[in-house]
Amino acid sequence: MAAKNVLGIIFSNAYDEVIPQVTSHRTMGSVPFAGRYRLIDFQLSNMVNAGIPQVGILTNSNYRSLMDHIGNGKAWDLARKRDGLTILPPFNHPDTGVFKGKIDALFGSIGYISDSGKDYVLITDCNVVCDIDYDALLEFHIERNAEITLAYARNVKSQLATAMEYEVESYGRISEIRYADPFGDDSSNSLKMMVINRTLLERLLHEASLKRITDFEQLLSENCGNLRVYGYRHNGYAKIIEDLKSYYDANLDLLKPEVRRALFPADKPVYTKTSDKVPAVYGINSVVKNSLIADGCRIDGEVENSILFRGVTVSKGAKVKNSIIMQDTFISENAEVESVITDKDVSIGARKKLCGADNYPVYIGKGINI
């Protein structure tokens, strides 16, 4: 029940730059994923499923689609009088302008954080897709009497220059926080999720602001030695989305039954905004194999190894293979797409053919007609 004493903070914009194609008009948090979700749904649901009652979502830019998705938080049961969900728009200091790093962002919302009155703050990005048990993480944090607990996983190496790895001692104590070596052996890789005692967070933010430190990782790394920092290992499935390829792979990963079971356990639903679309309709001669199909789709053609988001039309004679087809894409008669990611509202003309490479997809921007 400690979860009711937790404030969740989600960075919705972190890593926008790593998949510029999909985030040019939205935040990382509102990137569509798995046929009917946005990336932020996974973190929000993890928090809600653990019983965390209050969540603030930090935004920086392009957050209209995020606000549209989140609304008042009703879909996550976070439309409440007490606690509940708040979108935290960028707080511009007259002297700094729009914030630069995570420290700035948190510092801009420091009033919100301290007003929450919670003892613990759970801070996370939303580019890691996983079903992590925050309740267990919190229990671990309290039981170890930790000041900071960082979540990590093995076998999820990130290729980003900003990726961190931890030196985890026995009993979970973290002795070193360093930038990950992308070519090194498997290590304890940061999942960019942490629990920190609120008063400590406030103190660190004030110090960092005085010292003009803007990099959160640097702050953690500097303080690792003189604080009680622990590592909590997440053993389940986790996938880091850090470029177009990993976004593509993470989507197609869902075609594996074990991945679907890991991300969508029956007792811990992933909540999202509902759209009241009709069920998917399959026409005569439709052929669908190994695919994930959302409501509102109309399929008269062939679909294989693909993810179809809500409201996609695959017309007669059209073929879709190894592709991620986002909301309301229209694929006309006899068109063929393979290894393609189409953003929302794309239209592929009759008999047009589009093909990416086996190991790298072609991306078609929002609303483009081909």
* Sites of contact with other proteins (CB under 8 A): 34-37, 74, 254-255, 257, 260, 263-264, 269-272, 274, 276-296, 298, 303, 307-309
Q: Closest CB to other proteins among 60 and 251? A: 251
CB of 254 to other proteins, least distance (A): 8
CB of 294 to other proteins, least distance (A): 4
Q: Closest CB to other proteins among 189 and 327? A: 327
Q: Closest CB to other proteins among 80 and 100? A: 80
Burial grade of 155 (CB within 10 A; 0-12, 13-18, 19 or more) = exposed
3-state SS, residue 150: strand
Backbone angles phi, psi at 206, to 5 degrees: -65, -45
CB of 101 to other proteins, least distance (A): 34
d(CA 257, CA 358): 22
Positions of E strands within 208-250: 229-233, 238-240
Planar angle of CA 169, 15, 254, nearest 5 degrees: 80
State whether the Cα torsion 121-66-61-150 is positive or negative. positive
CB of 137 to other proteins, least distance (A): 23
Q: Closest CB to other proteins among 92 and 285? A: 285
CB of 349 to other proteins, least distance (A): 22
CB of 185 to other proteins, least distance (A): 34
Backbone angles phi, psi at 115, to 5 degrees: -65, -25
Q: Closest CB to other proteins among 163 and 293? A: 293
d(CA 301, CA 231): 49
Lookup: tokens for 105? 């962002």
DSSP β-bridge partners for residue 194: 123, 150
DSSP β-bridge partners for residue 148: 196, 229
Q: Closest CB to other proteins among 75 and 208? A: 75
